[in-house]
Amino acid sequence: MQPHYFSKYKNLKKSISLIIKKFKLTEICFLSASIMLNLPTLAFGDIILLPAQILVIAGQIFAILNPLSVLPTFMSLTDNLATEERHRIVRNSSVAILVIMLLLAIGGNYILGFFHVGIAGLQVGGGILLMSIAVEMLGGLPRAKSLESRAEVAIVPIATPLLVGPGTMTTIIVLSATASIVALIVSIFAVSAITFLLLRYSGILVKILGRNGTRALGRFMTIIIAAFAAQLIYSGITEWLRSWGVIVT
């Protein structure tokens, strides 16, 4: 019996050692990719916090993307189109949204470096921009002033500027410089998937919620945008005061 238990212990020890080696190899891969792309590194020990980070970041991106507020406009643009054509527009719009946000997430640091813009400056400027967008949206102003053609609306105006407008672009660039790149990219995929589903089943959602209910949800998301904007401005000003030696933490 004793040799049997000793053998089981030995096999268990070997399995644990193999798992540790795999974890170390994965950590090296994460670090190598971050260094090669000049992206913020993610400590492997912080991976346990990823779900919470993804939830917060995805919420921020979803709030400023605000696909709920676009549903009435999307339905009016595609009202006279065949179902297959409407589905094609949804697919193209979703892919365009995903690609644009990924490019901003990966290239955000390079954009800041090229224009010599600091994180604090971007937070204050981006926060003011987001706050003005939130005020306009709460006032009921449309996110796009004019819509020209129904022939090809997947990219313009649905993907941009209706969904990925200046506010979304600013948010992604700020997050690329302040948040985990892994959490940001996963959040972008998640938000893009949710946006696809909302557009794909927009008719059902509007029937369930009604146009007033859809607008009410869109207005609620603008409150989240305003709160995020206030936090950005506060963080940027705090960082400036800290760099000037006015406050010490």
- Residue 1 pLDDT > 90, yes or no? no
pLDDT bin (cut points 50, 70, 90) of residue 210 is confident
- Residue 171 pLDDT > 70, yes or no? yes
pLDDT bin (cut points 50, 70, 90) of residue 27 is very low
| Contact between residue 111 and residue 220 where contact means Cβ atoms under 8 Å apart | no
Averaged pLDDT for residues 176-189: 92
Distance separating alpha carbons of residues 56 and 33, to the nearest angstrom: 24
Task: Look at 111 and 37; give whichever has higher pLDDT.
Answer: 111
Q: Could you tell me the two tokens for 126? A: 């981006």
Helices (H), 37-165: 50-65, 67-77, 83-114, 119-138
- Residue 90 pLDDT > 90, yes or no? yes
Query: Residues 106-123, buried b or exposed e (16+ Cβ, 10 A)?
Result: bebbebbeeeeeeebebb
Task: Look at 239 and 37; give whichever has higher pLDDT.
Answer: 239
pLDDT single digits (tens) 121-130: 888 988 898 8
Question: What is the residue-averaged pLDDT of the chain?
Answer: 78
Give the pLDDT of residue 17. 56
What is the DSSP track for 132-170? HHHHHHHTT--SSS----SSS-IIIIIIIIIIS-HHHHH
Averaged pLDDT for residues 167-188: 91
- Residue 180 pLDDT > 60, yes or no? yes
pLDDT bin (cut points 50, 70, 90) of residue 187 is very high
pTM above the 0.85 mark? no
Helix axes 83-114, 166-178, angle to 10 degrees: 50
Give the pLDDT of residue 234. 92
Give the pLDDT of residue 140. 61
Give the pLDDT of residue 138. 76
The closest of 128, 153, 133 to 235, measured between CA atoms, is 128
Give the pLDDT of residue 108. 84
Give the pLDDT of residue 97. 96
Give the pLDDT of residue 23. 42
